Amino acid sequence: MTHVTERTTVDSLQPLDDELREIRRHLHSNPELSFKEHATSDFVAERLTEWGYEVHRGLGGTGVVATMQVGTGAKRLGLRADMDALPIHETSGLPWASKHEGCMHACGHDGHMTMLLGAAKHLSITKSFSGKLTLVFQPAEETGYDSGAKAMVEEGLFDQFPCDMVFAFHNHPGAPQGQLLSREGAFMAAGDRVLLKVLGVGGHAARPHQTVDTVVVSAAIVMALQSIVSRNVAANDTAVVTVGRLRVVDALNVIPAEGEIGISVRSFDPGVRALLQQRIEKICRSTADAYDATVEIDS
């Protein structure tokens, strides 16, 4: 007997509106950082179990995977959302604002989880598909490098839960409500990080000539990095090189011997990605050398 599927529209989800709003506000109020999504993981797992999914815990530490087989179809579809928040203090003042100091769902992962939970509940009710559905709730997307996705895959995600196709998504602030955005080719960038330790010679602020000032060196490196996208990446390609961390000593009368720079790097094309790594490393080393400093690079 052929399994009959029904067309799903936005109106089909209207009965879940109040429940999903409550879920989203709960998740927003209780954010957790990367690989620490313990209460979030529990919340997600409890809902999926309640709706009839077979729930698996522990991949990637706090990851949740849920499966449901409907009909006799052989196709295997995966849907994925991320769970972690950012180390940002929320100042919105909303009733459902973060209850955790210095932690906020500022990137919208509370919304991502709510959307996937909404799809999960709708499909558990209608069972309007034939085949195997796999839902993946991934920890630690925000870490970029050594992320929860990498951990889950290395721990056998697709060996245990093979999929013919996996769909992931991300909110896009500024896009009209009710629209889905897509395009041919890569849609989400590769995210890399580069950590630098700048090594100089510390000393007293009154005797800078006896030092190799890592504040000056670090500032020069930050400014030199700004030329990579504008002068090394072709105009029809795209990339982002953002310095998100710059740390030196706090004392005003001390020239520090060390500085720290953290760089977020994003690209779509493997060739551009390789170029970015090459240029970042060369600029950092040569700029430091020009000031008689050195750098240690972890990329």
Q: Which residues are catalytic?
A: 84, 141
Residue 152 near residue 60, CB atoms below 8 Å: yes
Give CA–CA dist 10/145, Å, rounded: 36
Pairs from 281-288 (Cβ < 8 Å, separation ≥ 24): 283/221, 283/224, 283/225, 283/227, 283/228, 284/196, 284/221, 284/225, 287/217, 287/220, 287/221, 287/224, 288/198, 288/217, 288/221
Q: Are strands 190-199 and 239-247 parallel, antiparallel or unpaired?
A: unpaired
Q: Give yes or no for a contact between 27 and 83, defined as CB atoms under 8 angstroms apart.
A: no
